[in-house]
């Protein structure tokens, strides 16, 4: 449902749903649909989704630490396949994004901020491009890390496909995510495999079109570990999301100053 770049493909590969509404679905409290312990985002297709799929999605949230723990989680950081790093304040939308000698300090919700190239501030068109690149990278990279927390996002229809074996032979409940009315490529489809023995998402498949029978790619979601009060996974098979951390406090200067940061002192 977002712009996707795999470890072996260009950033233009498999572009999917993007936009501020999806950022807000991650960053702000969601609207309850009834008295539910894991309320869906406003705009989730409740009528078009089936009860079994919603039940599985809610169970996944509980296995990852629960909705309350996720809502209280504020600061996250990770390295996307060795390409770039992100530090994100989930409550405010502030982001520190670094790729090579490019540093972007921006707010994901407003898409405003500043950027530096080799420690020199960027202006004009160069700044606009850096902010756009940082935003697109965050959209893509955060989905690779946080997709299981977004199963009931705005524009999502969630269906239960059935039981199937994952590539490692274990049995899984398979959910299908399709989309409507958001982003630029709502025709995308995803199959999300929830392992029956762990209750966690342990594989996913991406389809360029909901009509496609063959997935464009399939990767595992492995090596789940507790970070703070939630669970996160960084193993995507041949490539890894690394340096995944959850912090209780982060100095505001990390989002406002180009001075190098030392996250080791934050835990």
Q: For 197-229, write each residue's pLDDT tens digit.
A: 999 999 999 888 777 888 889 999 999 999 999
Q: What does the pLDDT read at residue 262?
A: 86
Distance from C-alpha of 111 to C-alpha of 135, rounded to nearest angstrom: 7
Give the mean pLDDT of 160-183.
90
Supply the pLDDT for residue 160.
97
Mean pLDDT within 124-133? 96
Within the chain, residue ranges assigned H as helices are: 20-27, 51-63, 67-72, 124-146
In Å, how far are 173, 237, 238 from 202, measured between CA atoms? 10, 11, 15
Those residues with Cβ within 8 angstroms of residue 103's Cβ, 6 or more apart along the chain or in another chain? 96, 97, 115, 116, 117, 258
At residue 265, the pLDDT reads 80
Strands 201-207 and 94-99: what pairing?
unpaired
pLDDT value at residue 31: 38
Q: Which residues 6+ apart lie within 8 Å of 252 measured at CB?
A: none
Give me the mean pLDDT over the 74-79 stretch: 97
- pLDDT of 7: 47
Specify the pairing of strand 94-99 against strand 84-89.
antiparallel
CATH class of the 22-265 domain in this structure: mainly beta
pLDDT per residue as tens digits for the range 246-264:
999 999 999 999 999 988 8
How far is 238 from 81, CA to CA, in rounded Å?
Answer: 10
Question: What does the alpha-carbon distance between residue 117 and residue 102 come to, in Å, rounded to a whole number?
Answer: 5
The overall average pLDDT reported for the chain is: 86
- What pLDDT score does 102 carry? 97
pLDDT at residue 189 in the model? 86
d(CA 171, CA 105): 43
| pLDDT, mean of residues 145-162 | 94
Could you write out the DSSP letters of every residue in 102-145?
A: EEEEEETTTTEEEEEETTEEP-HHHHHHHHHHHHHHHHHHHHHH
State residue 264's pLDDT score.
82
Ranges of each domain in the chain: 22-265
What is the end-to-end Cα distance of the chain in Å, rounded? 32
Q: Provide the pLDDT for residue 187.
A: 65
Which token pair is 125?
């068109």
Burial class (CB in 10 A: 0-12, 13-18, 19+), 25: buried
Of the candidates 225, 173, 234, the one whose C-alpha atom is nearest the C-alpha of residue 64 is 225
């Amino acid at each position: 449902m977002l712009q996707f770049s795999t470890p072996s493909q260009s950033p233009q590969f498999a572009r999917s749903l993007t936009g501020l509404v999806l950022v807000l679905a991650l960053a702000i409290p969601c609207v309850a649909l009834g008295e539910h312990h894991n309320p869906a985002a406003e705009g989730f297709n409740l009528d078009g989704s089936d009860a079994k799929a919603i039940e599985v999605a809610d169970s996944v949230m509980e296995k990852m630490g629960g909705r309350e723990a996720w809502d209280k989680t504020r600061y996250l950081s990770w390295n996307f396949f060795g390409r770039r790093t992100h530090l994100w304040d989930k409550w405010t939308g502030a982001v520190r994004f670094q790729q090579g000698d490019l540093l972007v300090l921006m707010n994901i919700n407003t898409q405003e901020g500043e950027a530096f190239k080799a420690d020199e501030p960027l202006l004009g068109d160069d700044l606009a491009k850096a902010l756009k690149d940082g935003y697109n990278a965050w959209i893509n990279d955060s989905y690779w890390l946080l997709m299981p927390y977004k199963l009931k996002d705005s524009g999502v229809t969630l269906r239960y496909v059935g039981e199937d074996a994952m590539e490692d032979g274990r049995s899984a409940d398979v959910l299908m995510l399709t989309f409507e009315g958001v982003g630029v490529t709502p025709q995308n489809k995803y199959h999300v495999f929830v392992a029956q023995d762990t209750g966690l998402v342990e594989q996913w498949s991406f389809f360029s079109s909901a009509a496609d029978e063959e997935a464009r790619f399939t990767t595992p979601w492995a090596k789940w570990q507790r970070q703070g009060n939630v669970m996160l996974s960084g193993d995507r098979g041949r490539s890894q999301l690394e340096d995944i951390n959850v912090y209780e406090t982060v100095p505001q200067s990390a989002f406002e100053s180009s001075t190098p940061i030392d996250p080791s002192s934050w835990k």
